[in-house]
Amino acid sequence: VLSGCGVYDGTEIHEASAILVHLSRGGAEVQMYAPDVPQMHVIDHSKGQPAEAESRNVLVESARIARGKITSLAKLTTADHDAVIFPGGFGAAKNLSTFAVDGKDCKVNGEVERVLKDFHKAGKPIGLCCISPVLAAKVLSGAEVTVGHEEEEGGKWPYAGTAGAIKELGGKHCVKEVTISFPAHVDTKNKVVTTPAFMCETELHNIFDGIGAMVKNVLKLTGK
């Protein structure tokens, strides 16, 4: 499930690509979805500032990553899929929810909430990385997730405050590394698998490997 195209106002492209590579390597068939809604705002990524008076559609922008093969999130059903995965990027906190603005009092997009609840009820695994675990923390009360460390540690974990927000949302936060050993957290009860990804300032290959661990565990939980 994508949230646009670009880290500051949509899907983190490297994370989406890594997920797709690992799913392909795992032999999975993939369908991409995104909500057909306007973005919260548009960021000029060369300046890191909002592009005033410019608007974009989340589904249309996500189609860039999907190479055009994308469907409205309203059409995603559990019957057609064994698992669902949400990449990170600020789009998860801006377009899939209002977390970027409202924090613990955020609202989740209605279709996103439906998908999370439907997959959870069906006992099918849910994978999330980077900032997107806040979606599960908000919608699935008591879910165990990770966004990495709970202290900034000199800038290595610049978004460490998110861990506290997850607790306020009703989730349980588990400290994890990006890679090395056990870089993904598996909540076996709720079948929710999370990994920090770009919540950490580290080399790209570490993020790629951590996402690989998340995908591998999601596929394992499908039992196929």
The per-residue DSSP string of 6-22 comes to: STTTS--HHHHHHHHHH
For the question of residue 130 being annotated catalytic, the response is yes
Find the catalytic residue in 5, 106, 129, 130: 130
Structure tokens at 125: 């695994």
The two structure tokens encoding residue 48: 């890191």
CB 128 within 8 A of CB 162: no
**How far does Cα 187 stand from its chain's mean position?**
16
Distance CA 64, CA 84 (A): 20
Rounded-to-integer distance, Cα 141 and Cα 37, Å: 26
**Are the beta carbons of 109 and 58 closer than 8 angstroms?**
no
Partners of residue 144 on adjacent β-strands:
172
Alpha-carbon distance 141 to 160, whole Å? Answer: 21
Pick from 173, 131, 177: nearest CA to 12: 131
- Name the residues annotated as catalytic: 130
